[in-house]
Amino acid sequence: MLKHVENPDRSAGTRWEAGRFDASSGPPQLLFGRMYEDSEIEATAFPRGSRIFAIASAGCTAIRLSVDHEVTAVDINPVQLAYAQRRARGAPRETGSAERMMRLGRNAFPLIGWTRQRFDKFFRMEDTGEQFRYWKDTLDTQRFRRAFDTATTQALLRLIYARSFLERMPRHIGPVLRARLERCWTLHPNATNPYARSLFLDSDDPLTDMPSEVARYAPIHFACADAATYLEGCTPGSFDAFTLSNIFDGATAAYRERLMLAMKHAAASGAIAVIRSFAEPDAELSQNYVSQDRSPLWGVVQVAEVESL
């Protein structure tokens, strides 16, 4: 079932509304061919049989959770929503703008000495100590560090991303992301980590397949809508759990406040929310689950009762 929810204010107050990474005014695009969020965080946090509100994105989390829960998947980008819906019916993965940009970056791998053989060895490792040493000794070269930090300067990122996507990112994201990668190698065996592999290998590489991505029809309710508008229109107590991806990155402070209120309105008593961010954690954040997320991208993975937010 696909439902469209109109926003009477037209502008939602979030850059995601444009459906594009860049600042141009072209039509919305498929941004994500897969998700880079470890859905096992949600699978562990949400009690079985929960009524879940999920951001659809590429559909991976909604599909994974639909096994044990009743899922409503919402996306502001009609192209992304239609793709998630296709995937829930078993359609194969497609390449989005995110994967195309990563593919461009991968063209530089041979120049920094990163070869397929090295990745084959690294991404099959099961021992975190061994993979951390391999990273330090073989892959984390000075050439890599210099190239990565240069490619991720704000000046260069601004050529690709609209300014609002960069506002909550750490200013020098290169060293921050490299530290997040190291954290991942020390905690999660590569052999069972499709999220790490998906950042380094091409999207059609079989090593990037996710075991949880079983092609089956999942009874998910889909809606093309801005999350806040959708939730404001729901009956109070409609959802036991929320997985909001990192939609707050790229949104205005006013929109964030509105969405929090909308979530509280639609939440059942004791409802839980999972919220991710590229930002580094604030001092006030009492508990960060970022170490448990096998995707190395995140600075914050918040798992909290909606009432406490």
Ligand X SMILES: C[S@@+](CC[C@H](N)C(=O)[O-])C[C@H]1O[C@@H](n2cnc3c(N)ncnc32)[C@H](O)[C@@H]1O
200 binds ligand X (CB under 6 A): no
Nearer to ligand X, 111 or 261 (CB): 261
Query: Comparing C-alpha atoms, which of 57, 11, 36 is closest to residue 224?
Result: 57
The residue from 247, 273, 274, 306 that contacts ligand X (CB under 6 A) is 247
Nearer to ligand X, 247 or 300 (CB): 247
Instruction: Round to whole Å and give the CA distance between 175 and 230.
Output: 38
198 binds ligand X (CB under 6 A): no
Nearer to ligand X, 32 or 289 (CB): 32
The residue from 18, 35, 65, 231 that contacts ligand X (CB under 6 A) is 35
User: Which positions ≥6 away from 8 have C-beta within 8 Å?
Assistant: none
The residue from 57, 131, 193, 198 that contacts ligand X (CB under 6 A) is 57
CB of 52 to ligand X, least distance (A): 15
Nearer to ligand X, 60 or 271 (CB): 60
Residues 41 and 287 sit within 8 Å (Cβ to Cβ): no
The residue from 50, 66, 72, 77 that contacts ligand X (CB under 6 A) is 77
245 binds ligand X (CB under 6 A): yes
105: helix, strand or coil: helix
The residue from 52, 55, 184, 273 that contacts ligand X (CB under 6 A) is 55
Nearer to ligand X, 29 or 128 (CB): 29
> What is the distance in angstroms between the CA of the first residue and the CA of the last residue of the chain?
31
293 binds ligand X (CB under 6 A): no
Residues 195 and 294 sit within 8 Å (Cβ to Cβ): yes
Instruction: Round to whole Å and give the CA distance between 82 and 103.
Output: 24
The residue from 52, 74, 241, 306 that contacts ligand X (CB under 6 A) is 74
Query: 188-201 burial by CB neighbour count: b if 16+ within 10 A, else e?
Result: bbbeebbbbbbbbb
273 binds ligand X (CB under 6 A): no
124: helix, strand or coil: coil
Q: How many CB atoms lie within 10 A of CB 247?
A: 22
CB of 121 to ligand X, least distance (A): 27
Which range in 27-35, 136-144, 198-206, 281-289 contacts ligand X by CB under 6 A? Answer: 27-35
